[in-house]
A and B are shown apart, each in its own frame.
Chain A
């Protein structure tokens, strides 16, 4: 049996309201309607089968010109791991200097995603 659901795309600011047709028996996406691009369709499929989110946060820096460095995941994480990942980042202290796009944590919580710095922080 098929079921359809509206999903608002978060990939880009267009925010397409996609209609997703799901096969109830195997929870597979049969069809995505009203998406303006392929990325949106992929997002819709993921959102039903294994929703993912990017993580952006900060990490504490010692002896830096700034007390924090902004970071992000280099690819989306499973949505249910986001909170845990944020808690994980709270435990880290880095020594300045931090280089742009330096890997801060690799393979965070076994998700395969790395956490990288999104700016540089020089030493104080």
Chain B
């Protein structure tokens, strides 16, 4: 009886532990499969023309997405101009002047903004920029991505500033520096690597955003003629090309997916390497 009981417990133990192992295998296997599939399909679809040529009209093969690559760059630039200063300064406020009810509210609202679905942010940019101007524009797309960058910029800045030991702040103040001076010349430089890495990760995240661009920057099959005009972006092109019924477009979508994912993952891997190195030093 007791033996049977023990046996049952031991069996349950082994079976359940194996199942959790299989779960892990499945999760990790999915990643390897996804990456492998995308890299094989993407790399074989990638040609030099992809980086240098404009999309060709329907029915003509060849062509590339040079305009979408530049377009993504321009959108990210606008997003950074809009999102990083607000996010960074907000993060400095929370880390260095925090503690009040106001900063608690700011932190809460920032988290709330971070949870807003990207498509809703797109609607916001649409009503703010597209509706008054009555046409799609690069500006609207940049605004949408910029709003998406704010909460993450706030969080990562605050986190890395908080990681700076108080003894550094106290040292600076003891030497006669004002609080502002100690923040500018001691605290921020000490957290510089972390903050920069956070910004890179942030850019990598919004670089893949598609939904908020669909009705703000819209898309463009040619070079965009200015900030006020619609512009093409890599993720939007992936969407358009993947759901279109043309074999040739599907290939281009794979190539674009390959380029986008390579960029995003490279930034992520480098960022993680930088952050973990920093952690080791701190330990």
| Bound pair (A, B) | no
B→A interface (CB under 8 Å): none
